[in-house]
Structure formats: structure tokens, C-alpha cells
Chain A
């Protein structure tokens, strides 16, 4: 069974950094592009970016590329999202997903940015 499990969410102060992780199982992680998507409290879906199966290439939403970094460790079947200088508008549930046609989603990690 394909599983994606995010962790690392929580309450964070404005301007701080946070790193989310997503552990994959049930498939060959190193065969797939992976994405991060977030859903705001108002339910808007926003694609953050994705990373090539070997980690050699990334794409980002233009509005986020200066603050967010996606990486992966194929040996650990783990996807990462490094968030820096977070703002209140980054408050959302963060999902890792498999591929550009997102045929698998994690359960989501809740991030709240507040002082």
C-alpha cells in the first residue's frame, strides 16, 4: 500500500524556519517525482514545487521559490520541505504528493505561523 506520512508541522513564529518531512512507503520512492502542495484555512490549494526522482532538478511556485526549498533523500525514502522566514500567510496544511498527477497524498502537516 502506498503511504506518505508528513511530520514536522506545528506552531512557529513569524520570521522563523521550519522543516517538514515526508516518509514514503509501498513504492519505489526513487522512481517518482514528488511534490509539495498546501491548503489554506480557506481551502485554497496551492502547489509549492516538485523535485525530480534523483533530486537533480526542482521547480517552484514563483511566489515561494526564494523562501522554500525542496530536497529528498532516496536512501531514506524521505522528501523534505525547508521553509524560511515564514509569514502568517504560510499558515496551511502541507501535503506531500506523488508525481504531477497526484495519485497519492499524505495525511497533511498543519503549520500555524503566529506570534
Chain B
């Protein structure tokens, strides 16, 4: 199985700040990586796919980058509605696997 190591586990930032969340795959996943946002009490929603493609309707302050085994999610100009847990997921190989999540709070 491909292990997805996500960091940090939690993050506290101020409104307007830029935050970065990292995901490290245990082997090359060839950019087959998605990022999801899960707001408290809600189902997850797709933000980014193919490592850097923005899903329709997702604000442009969200962006993804990376290749090989290292990937990151960047949130520019943090808004209050960005309070959520963020997960990465690889779909390069079965079984599909998720990172452990990053809980983002506003300082």
C-alpha cells in the first residue's frame, strides 16, 4: 500500500495569512493526488485533483503543487470559512489511500 504522510496534523493561522499543508507519498504517485476539504459536521468536498487542477467552483485562493512523492496545498488569504480538516488522497494505485488530515483553525 502507498502510505500518505500528511503534515502538520493541526495548524492555527490568522485571517489573511497564507498556509501550506504537505503530503508525502511512500512512492511516486505521478501527480495522481487529490485534496479534500471537510468542514465541521459536513461531508468532504473535492478541492484539487491531478495535484494542481482546481475543481469547478473552488476559490482561486486554493492551489496545489508537487510531483513524484511530495505535494502541497496552499491557501492564500485565509478566510474564516476555510476552517476545516484537509485530506490528501492518492489514486495512482490500489488500494486508494488518504493522509491523516490537517485541522485548520483561525488564530
Contact = CB atoms under 8 A, between A and B. Distances in A.
A26 interface: no
Interface string A39-53: 000011111001000
B43 interface: yes
Interface residues on B, range: 20 to 34
Interface string B78-96: 0000000101010100111
Interface string B21-47: 000000000000010100000011110
Most-contacted residue by chain A among B87, B94, B96 (CB, 10 A): B96
Nearest to B34: A101
Contacts of A61: 95
A96 to B, nearest CB: 10
A59 B94 contact: yes
Interface of B: 1, 34, 36, 43-46, 49-50, 55, 85, 87, 89, 91, 94-98, 100-101
12 contacts: A43-B85, A43-B101, A44-B100, A45-B44, A45-B87, A45-B89, A47-B95, A50-B96, A102-B89, A103-B49, A103-B55, A105-B43
